[in-house]
């Protein structure tokens, strides 16, 4: 479940046990409070969070862990990942990852990984890393599947975790696509199973071995997105959904990420995307991302 603090409790009571958050979302404190308030044993909840690029470097990332753990109110984080590669300063990215390895060796985190790493980033990382990342969290939905990144991950034992798993980025941001939720092919498959398009997309991820972290602020959708364990897509249906890939990315281009070019501002209005942040590039429109 992608974290929205107002709905973490609803997600936990529905049965979700994995919450994805990030330092950059500015909501770790609320997520930690919601988990504590739920009364569910800490050992039964899997907390994933991300180090933002401004905290890259060995010492900075160790400190980044302290900040995140402090806000979450936990001693140990289940999965700590680097939010993006920083290609313009890749040495700092490697140092940040080395800090994750130290945190793992010290038992402060149970697993480490990366996000938005492309094949060249993973290749360079594996050249120096002593621990293979457990997870690479990347944009994957029917319109953008990043097959080569997934294949590289599979070859090296890196689990692909899909962000925007139901294609949120195709409709909450102008990605040049229509919404995956309105796709007629997915709609037909959904009708055949008496399910919704969101449920079909989540099932597609699970049957292809990906982790998926859908986000919703609405309790009925949180429940809907969890109700995917009573049907099975056929191989043909899986292949049909694979065939919808347009090759067009919705999120920022990982190769273009720079510290100077990305400025984060917390969204202050109590909108449904309390954990969204804006990424601004000098000559581009603001882009709201999770």
Ligand X SMILES: NC(=O)c1ccc[n+]([C@@H]2O[C@H](COP(=O)([O-])OP(=O)(O)OC[C@H]3O[C@@H](n4cnc5c(N)ncnc54)[C@H](OP(=O)(O)O)[C@@H]3O)[C@@H](O)[C@H]2O)c1
Instruction: Provide the minimum distance between the beta carbon of 216 and ligand X in the complex, in angstroms, as a whole number.
Output: 3
121 binds ligand X (CB under 6 A): no
Site for ligand X in 180-199 (CB under 6 A): 181, 196, 198
Distance CA 162, CA 138 (A): 5
Of 246, 281, 285, 257, residue with least CA distance to 115: 257
63 binds ligand X (CB under 6 A): no
Instruction: Provide the minimum distance between the beta carbon of 162 and ligand X in the complex, in angstroms, as a whole number.
Output: 8
Return all residues near 180 (Cβ < 8 A) that are at least 6 apart.
141, 142, 143, 166, 167, 170, 171, 186, 197, 201, 244
101 versus 272: smaller Cβ distance to ligand X: 272
Structure token pair of residue 125: 């990382």
Residues 247-266: x where in contact with ligand X by CB under 6 A, - otherwise, as a string = ----x---------------
10 binds ligand X (CB under 6 A): no
Backbone angles phi, psi at 113, to 5 degrees: -170, -165
Specify whether the CB–CB gap between 40 and 14 falls below 8 A: no
Return all residues near 78 (Cβ < 8 A) that are at least 6 apart.
46, 47, 48, 109, 110, 111
* Residue 16 a catalytic site member: no
Q: How many residues sit in the footprint of ligand X (CB under 6 A)?
A: 31
Specify whether the CB–CB gap between 27 and 3 falls below 8 A: yes
Instruction: Provide the minimum distance between the beta carbon of 176 and ligand X in the complex, in angstroms, as a whole number.
Output: 16
Instruction: Provide the minimum distance between the beta carbon of 234 and ligand X in the complex, in angstroms, as a whole number.
Output: 22
Taking CB under 6 A as the binding criterion, the range among 68-76, 87-95, 97-105, 216-224 that sits at the site for ligand X is 216-224
State the CB neighbour count (10 A cutoff) for residue 19: 25
57 versus 252: smaller Cβ distance to ligand X: 252
1 versus 109: smaller Cβ distance to ligand X: 1
- Taking CB under 6 A as the criterion, the residue among 71, 205, 215, 287 binding ligand X is 215
């Amino acid at each position: 479940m992608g974290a929205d603090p107002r709905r973490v409790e609803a997600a936990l009571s529905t049965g979700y046990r994995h919450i994805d958050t990030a330092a950059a979302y500015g909501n770790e404190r609320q997520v930690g409070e919601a988990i504590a308030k739920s009364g569910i044993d800490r050992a039964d909840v899997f907390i994933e969070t991300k180090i933002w690029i401004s905290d890259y470097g060995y010492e900075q990332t160790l400190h980044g862990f302290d900040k995140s753990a402090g806000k979450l109110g936990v001693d140990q984080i289940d999965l700590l990942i680097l939010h993006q590669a920083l290609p313009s300063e890749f040495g700092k990215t490697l140092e940040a990852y080395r800090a994750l390895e130290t945190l793992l060796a010290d038992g402060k985190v149970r697993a480490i990984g990366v996000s938005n790493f492309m094949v060249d980033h993973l290749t360079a990382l594996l050249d120096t890393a002593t621990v293979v990342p457990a997870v690479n969290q990347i944009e994957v939905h029917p319109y953008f599947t990043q097959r080569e990144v997934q294949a590289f991950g599979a070859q090296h034992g890196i689990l692909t975790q899909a962000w925007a798993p139901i294609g949120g980025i195709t409709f909450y941001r102008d990605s040049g696509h229509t919404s995956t939720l309105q796709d007629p092919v997915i709609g037909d498959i959904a009708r055949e199973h008496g399910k919704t398009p969101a449920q079909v997309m989540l099932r597609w991820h699970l049957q292809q071995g990906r982790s998926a972290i859908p986000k919703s602020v609405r309790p009925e959708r949180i429940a809907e997105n969890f109700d995917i364990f009573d049907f099975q897509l056929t191989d043909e249906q899986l292949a049909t959904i694979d065939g919808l890939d347009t090759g067009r990315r919705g999120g920022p281009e990982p190769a273009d990420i720079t510290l100077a070019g990305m400025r984060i501002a917390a969204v202050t209005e109590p909108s449904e995307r309390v954990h969204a942040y804006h990424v601004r590039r000098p000559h581009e429109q603001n882009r709201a991302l999770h």
